[in-house]
Amino acid sequence: MEILLAITIGLLYAAGIFLILRRSMVRLIIGLILLGNGANLLIFLLGRISKGKPPIIPEESKVFLDAYADPIPQALILTAIVISFGLQSYAIILVKRAYRVTKTDDIEELTTTDEI
Amino acid sequence: MIAHIVIWPILLPLITAIVLMFFWNNSRIQRVLSTVGHGLTFISSFWLAMRTFNGDILTLTPGNWPAPFGIIFVADALSGMLVLLASLSAFAVCVFSIVSIGKGRAGFGFFPILQLLLMGLNGSFLAGDIFNLYVWFEVIIISSFVLITLGSEKAQLEGAIKYVTMNLLASVIFLTGIAMLYGLLGSLNLADLSIKISESNDHGLINIAAVLLLVGFGIKSAIFPMYFWLPASYHTPPAAVSAIFGGLLTKVGVYAMIRVFSLLFIEDEFIRNMLIILAVCSMIIGALGAIVQQNMRKIFSFLIISHIGFMIGGLGLFTPLAILGMVFYLFHDIVAKTNAFLISGLIFKLRGSFRLENLGGLYNRYPFLSIMFALALFSLVGTPPLSGFWPKLFLLQASFADLNWWLIGGIVAASFLTLIAVVRIWLAAFWKKHPDYEAAKKRIVWYDLPRYQKIILLVPIAILTGASLFMGLNAAYIADVCELVYTQISQPQTYIDAVLTNQSNIP
């Protein structure tokens, strides 16, 4: 399972970076989304994966008896997902708006800001 | 109430923002209330800063969970001073925007968002937990996204695309770094991480995490190879927005770098050398960029990049004097850059253009005003006795003590190039005769402004110039604060003890 996740994360990062390096604004956004998802999965993986061991201390004991699934990465991912959801929806609207104003999807043509 | 002083600089802007949203359609009330809110935030940050200057490290655990498990806010002297300066700059910018931000932008929530931006800034200065720092960064960038696009002009949207992309990328890289640190060490609390890193042997992986964080913070603070978004976006929004961006947003990246690297990674030779190389490159390239630009705000944007190099260089050296200089420079730069962008906004009001070739004659027309501007502009260069002089002196002394010729050359060359850039502004805008005054007269809004609005536009610049003069003339006091910061930074143990043992000072 770890290997599978690691490969998925690598693919997500690679695809994300590839898309960011394209010239189209839409691909840029999709690339950022993929990168964000890759980062979230990475947190999940690095929190160690364990199946069917909730972090609950049994009633008769005071400490954990067994290795348990770490709840913190899941809380982190939840936060990160919510944040990236907001940011990505903002970015999509921005690209739409910019397309309406500049009439182009090509990042290379956004040169108004580069005038000396 | 008093025990919670650490959280007031975060809560007050939030409360003000919520109150402001109730007056969505009444921009007049928003302008007044927003200034009041910024004033209150400034007072509470002043109080907090004064308490941290005694050498105390104040902590607060909002969820009442003990430190390595729950979120913690920590205020040491560095955080205290930065919160104070952030609140001061935000107050000045808010006063400036009372007049300079039109109804169109105010009607779409400029003032509440400005408050939320300040909340994010103060939050990231006070966070004691690396994931919490990430969340505050996100609060900052989402508010800055709104501020930079508010108005939707063509240049703004194009600048915003570059700004948004690079900041989103920086967040992802920062998050990857956090994930690696958590995976390696199983903690997120900075103090706890600091202990665990010194015990860990996994130097290879920890260095990878360090480099990921360096790239993440480096994009945010616009250091050498990752700065291209800054001069492409900072000159597009209104001057008030550029002022708060230029003064504070890049400095948050520098602050995060100082905090994280001093607590976690600085003992590593590899990281320090890399920081110095990046610093020298940023200094020179930023300054070279500044001297070819014609747009005043683009000149200041490139100067930001150059001057970030000074701070990163100090962090790379990490000798006592270097840290003193670096921290002093950070404090000076917040005030000086905010002021520089506000001045460019005022010059726009006076002459109707940001471009050097369309300016001129300001000294003849407004001699006293020009002298005030000169004080602010030349403090960027570091002319003694203005505030930029002392940190540069400390940094140069530190690099001579270390015989680091790269850094010495970089500092001298960058200061000289900054001088050229500032003198160009001075010659073009103040001394040169205006090229075509009659034609420009139509664009100048200054003559139509009522007298009280002119005064409101001047007040923030006067406040910031005063703060800059205070830093320069009363340098001993600031240097004392910087020395306190140095002792706290160089002995992470005090920070760690304060976070992990003084569990909670909630009565």
Q: Where do the domains of chain A lie?
A: 2-50+70-103
Please check whether residue B143 is in contact with residue B27, taking contact to mean a CB–CB distance below 8 angstroms: no
Nearest-Cα residue of chain A relative to residue B134: A80
Residue B406 in this model has a pLDDT that exceeds 60 = yes
User: Does the CB of A31 have a partner CB in chain B at under 8 Å?
Assistant: no
CA distance B137 to B213: 13
Answer yes or no: pTM beyond 0.90: yes
Q: How much is the ipTM here?
A: 0.93
pLDDT at A99 over 50: yes
CB-CB contact of B77 with B485 (8 Å): yes
Q: Confidence band (pLDDT; 50, 70, 90) for B507?
A: very low
Tell me whether residue B82 is in a domain.
no
Which of B78, B75, B80, B69 has its CA nearest to residue B189?
B69
The answer to whether A15 faces chain B, any CB pair under 8 Å, is no
Q: How far is CA B264 from CA B71, B100, B192, B440, in A?
A: 18, 43, 10, 55
Q: Is residue B330 part of a domain?
A: yes
Residue B190 has pLDDT above 60, yes or no: yes
What are the Cα distances from residue A12, in Å, to A30, A49, B365, B501? Answer: 11, 19, 60, 41
Tokens of B438: 């009659």
Mean pLDDT to the nearest integer, B417-425: 93
Strands, DSSP E only, in B2-86? Answer: 58-60, 73-75
Q: How many residues does chain A have?
A: 116
Using a pLDDT cut of 90, give the percent of chain B over it: 62
Among the partner residues A87, A94, A116, nearest to B149 by beta-carbon distance: A94
> Among the listed ranges A5-14, B131-140, B150-159, which one has the minimum average pLDDT value?
B150-159
Task: Report d(CA B24, CA B188) in Å as an integer.
Answer: 39
- Which residue did the predictor score with more confidence, B311 or B104? B311
Residue A2: what pLDDT? 86
Lowest model confidence (mean pLDDT) among A55-59, B134-138, B151-155: A55-59
For chain B, the domain total comes to 1
Tell me the pLDDT band of B231, cut-offs 50, 70 and 90: very high
More confident position, B42 or A109: B42
d(CA A39, CA A79): 12
**Contact status of A93 with chain B (Cβ, < 8 Å):** no
Above 90 in pLDDT, residue B203?
no
Tens-place pLDDT, residues B35-65 = 999 999 999 999 999 999 988 888 888 888 8
Query: By the CB < 8 Å criterion, does B46 face chain A?
Result: no
As a whole number, the mean pLDDT across chain A is 88
Residue B506, pLDDT above cutoff 50: no
Give the mean pLDDT of B417-441: 88
Contact flag A28-B183 (C-beta cutoff 8 Å): no
B188/A113 Cβ within 8 A: no
Q: Round to whole Å and give the CA distance between B375 and B422.
A: 11
φ and ψ of B143, to 5 deg:
-70, -40
A113 and B168 in contact by Cβ < 8 A?
no
To test the contact with chain B by mutation, choose from A113, A114, A115 the residue with the greatest count of B C-beta atoms within 10 A, namely A113
The type of residue at B223 is: I
Containing A36, the helix (H) or strand (E) segment is: helix A25-46
**Buried b / exposed e across B246-265, counting CB within 10 Å, b at 16+?**
bbbbbbbbbbbbbbbbbbbb
Mean pLDDT of chain B: 90
Residue B235 with chain A: CB contacts under 8 Å: 113
Residue with tokens 């006076």: B350
Return the pLDDT at B131: 93
Which residues in chain A are contacts of B160 at CB distance < 8 A?
Answer: 94, 98
Work out the pLDDT band at B458, boundaries 50, 70, 90: very high
Q: What percent of chain B has pLDDT over 70?
A: 98
User: How far apart, in whole angstroms, are the C-alpha atoms of residue B327 and residue B54?
Assistant: 17
CATH number, domain A2-50+70-103, options 2.60.40.10, 2.40.37.10, 1.10.287.3510, 3.90.1420.10: 1.10.287.3510
Q: Give the model confidence (pLDDT) of B319-345 as tens digits.
A: 889 999 999 999 999 999 999 999 999
Cβ <8 Å between A39 and B172 = yes
**Touching check for A108 and chain B: CB below 8 Å?**
no
Band (pLDDT 50/70/90 cuts) for residue B218 is very high
A23 reaches B (C-beta below 8 A): no
The answer to whether residue B502 is domain-embedded is: no
Q: Is residue B125 part of a domain?
A: no
Q: Is residue B505 scored above 50 in pLDDT?
A: no
Q: Name the residue range of residue B281's domain.
A: 266-494
Q: How many CB atoms lie within 10 A of CB B426?
A: 18
Alpha-carbon gap, residue B4 to B9, rounded angstroms: 10
Q: Which has more pLDDT, B171 or B360? A: B171
pLDDT, residue B440, reads 78
State residue B125's pLDDT score: 95
* Set of chain A residues whose Cβ sits within 8 Å of the Cβ of B202: none
Residues 208-247, chain B, touching A (beta carbon < 8 A): 232-233, 235-236
B72-104 residue pLDDT tens: 999 999 999 999 999 999 999 999 999 998 888
pLDDT at B503 exceeding the cut of 80: no
Residue B401, chain A, CB below 8 Å: the answer is: no
Q: Give pLDDT tens digits for B246-302.
A: 999 999 999 999 998 888 876 778 888 889 999 999 999 999 999 999 999 999 999
Q: What secondary structure letter does DSSP report for B225? A: G
Residue B323 counted as domain residue = yes
Of A39, A107, A110, the CB nearest to B175: A39
Cβ neighbours around A56 below 10 Å, total: 10
Of the candidates B118, B362, B131, the one whose C-alpha atom is nearest the C-alpha of residue B241 is: B118
Residues B331 and B343: their CA atoms lie apart, in Å, by 19
Residues of chain B contacting A25 with CB distance shorter than 8 Å: 161
**B69, two tokens:** 């498990």
Structure tokens at B184: 């390696």
| Residue B136 within any structural domain of the chain | no
